[in-house]
Structure 1
Amino acid sequence: MISLNILFIYVLVISNITGNATWARIGVTVAGGKGSGNATNQLHLPSGLVVDDDQTMVIADTWNHRIIQWKKDDTNGQVVAGGKGLGNRMDQLNYPSDVLIDKVTNSFLICDQNNRR
């Protein structure tokens, strides 16, 4: 029942957007934006991301086989997992697709897609 109420509200809000609506362009690049690559200010097919309560962004940088983190106002990210090429060692990832932060254990939960772990 709750999900139906949420769906109804969602549809109601969407139905109020007119066909000629315009959107303000106020986007800000907070990670990457320097073209595709493997430098710490670049991403290559990022897929999953999570933003912590202190505005730290953690991204599954899929084709770079790494998890990279940007703290608020950083211009370069910091590799926090993988980044040692494609592989199945404990310091390597194989197309990571998503990441979560576990605040209780102070760790990352990584979906390491092609390593199936």
Structure 2
Amino acid sequence: MKWNKGAKEGIVVAGGQGEGSALAQLKYPEGLFVDTLGTLYVADTGNNRVMRWIQGDKKQGATIGKQSRSNEFHYL
């Protein structure tokens, strides 16, 4: 959720489609990071992945890292 200064309502910028594993869904997100370009990264721990949302992009997000069953991390 993004709140612009003075806004009466927030803007959904990540997730927002309930719990799950689709690109617009998160399951137990436990951490986030915003880089200098405004790109949002979310540690989606329930799905063992890192999600990325680029500021201004209309896409639902992208999986940029995923942990396998053998605890190996892939993609990044």
**TM-score category (smaller protein):** 0.7 to 0.9
What are the residue-to-residue correspondences of 1:26-41 with 2, within 5 Å? 26-41=9-24
Higher helix share: 1
Q: So what's the TM-score if we normalise by structure 1?
A: 0.52
Deviating beyond 3 angstroms after TM superposition, the runs of 4 or more aligned structure 1 residues are: 84-87
Cα RMSD after superposing both structures: 2.2
Would the alpha carbon gap of residues 87 and 33 (structure 1) be closer, same or farther in structure 2, given more than 3 Å must change? farther
Q: So what's the TM-score if we normalise by structure 2?
A: 0.76
Q: Point out where structure 2 has 5 or more consecutive residues left out of the alignment.
A: 1-6
Q: What SS does structure 1 have at the residue aligned with 2:46?
A: helix
Identity of aligned residues (%): 38
In 1: Cα distance, 2:69 partner to 2:19 partner = 17
Bigger-Rg structure (1/2)? 1
- Residue 52 of structure 1, aligned match among 29, 35, 42: 35
Q: Please state how far the C-alpha of 1:85 moved relative to its aligned partner.
A: 5.0
In 2: Cα distance, 1:47 partner to 1:62 partner = 6
In the alignment, does 2:55 pair up with 1:72? Answer: yes
Query: Quick one: higher RCO (CA 8 Å, sep 6+), 1 or 2?
Result: 2
Aligned partner of 2:17: which letter? Answer: K
